[in-house]
Amino acid sequence: MWMAVDVEEQLRKLWLLLIMQIGMSKPRAASIDGKLSAEFAVPSHVDAVKELMSAFAERHGAAGRRVVLITSGGTKVPLESRTVRFLDNFSSGRRGASSAEYFLDCGYAVIFLHRHRSLYPYARLYAGVNLLDGLRLGGSGGCTDQEVVVDQEALPKIGRVLRRYQEVKRDGLLLPVEFSTLSEYLHLLKASAQVLGTLGSKAMFYLAAAVSDFYIPASDMPEHKIQSSNGPLQISMKMVPKILSPLVKDWAPQAFVISFKLETDTSILLDKARKALDTYRHQAVVANVLDTRRGYVVVVTPDTQAELILTDEDASKEVEIEEKIVSNLTGAHA
């Protein structure tokens, strides 16, 4: 009798140990995946977009081309189900849009996962111009509306930019995908990672989007517009799962992954970048400070640290910091 109880107890302990080990083999990734489906609404078009990305990756992979997924712009976190108000992360999308152009110049095919209406490759060069101020009616005396003439002063280098844009379009080298909300971003990034995972080390992730760390789960969200007549607003937000973790471990383990680290306090920037590398075990972090991000970044890898600086001479030749970032990273990827 005593022996029987003891064996039973030992078996129970063994069973518990086994369950713990199975659970410990991939705890974060499994729970993040579960959380994604349970707490972030899946966009209705995600399967259709995944198919497009699959065909894109297959075509360029077969042609021996490297493929980079660029994320760009800020995510939007709704405060109400029928959304009137939302929290936004700061990002104009300029980093992502200009980097896309330099990756294309380096021979990459680009999936451009960007915030709706944030800056777009090539078009970004004229983002500050009112298009109508750059055009005038042509013909004799400007009296016909059948002919429109471009004012090259208002739209500088438009011919060269248009030519490059049309080449990229003709060769199908740029696949734009839009997101607005955090949920859309997370699900579309997951889909793209699963697709690009099939390309192995030919794939690169360049995660320049500014992604919210906080969200309100659908179950806690009021349906209707929050009423100011109820007094001051107190919101409790949950932590967004770090998508880098399953991306690196499960979805695209062979890919070259670059995350970005944005801080406003320079003194903590590099420590945070190194901590990210330690935690996620990816290839590089591009560290930047909000106020100086256009002229100074540090590319941190597990063994190196490269400062990239835009000099006055660079600026006078219209060199952009993104050209230096992309040159550094494509060199490392190769």
Binding site for ligand PMT (CB under 6 A): 91-95, 207-211, 213, 240, 242-244, 259-262, 288, 293
Q: Which is nearer to ligand PMT, 61 or 73 (CB)?
A: 73
Residue with tokens 């995350």: 259
CB 207 → ligand PMT: shortest distance, Å?
4
Q: Which is nearer to ligand PMT, 75 or 330 (CB)?
A: 75
Q: Which is nearer to ligand PMT, 61 or 93 (CB)?
A: 93
CB 67 → ligand PMT: shortest distance, Å?
18
Contacts of 238 (CB under 8 A, 6+ apart): 39, 214, 215, 216, 217
CB 260 → ligand PMT: shortest distance, Å?
4
Give 309's Cβ-side CA count (13 Å radius).
Answer: 5
CB 126 → ligand PMT: shortest distance, Å?
17
Q: Which is nearer to ligand PMT, 61 or 216 (CB)?
A: 216
Contacts of 239 (CB under 8 A, 6+ apart): 213, 214
Q: Which is nearer to ligand PMT, 92 or 327 (CB)?
A: 92
- What phi, psi does 177 have (nearest 5°)? -135, 135
**Distance, CA of 333 to CA of 312 (rounded, Å):** 29
Contacts of 206 (CB under 8 A, 6+ apart): 68, 69, 70, 71, 96, 99, 103, 258, 329
The answer to whether the Cα torsion of 179, 333, 92, 174 is positive or negative is negative
CB 94 → ligand PMT: shortest distance, Å?
4
Q: Which is nearer to ligand PMT, 126 or 154 (CB)?
A: 126
CB 254 → ligand PMT: shortest distance, Å?
18
Tokens standing for residue 326: 């992309």
Count Cβ atoms below 10 Å from residue 194 Cβ, excluding itself: 17
**Distance, CA of 112 to CA of 260 (rounded, Å):** 16
Q: Which is nearer to ligand PMT, 2 or 90 (CB)?
A: 90
CB 172 → ligand PMT: shortest distance, Å?
25
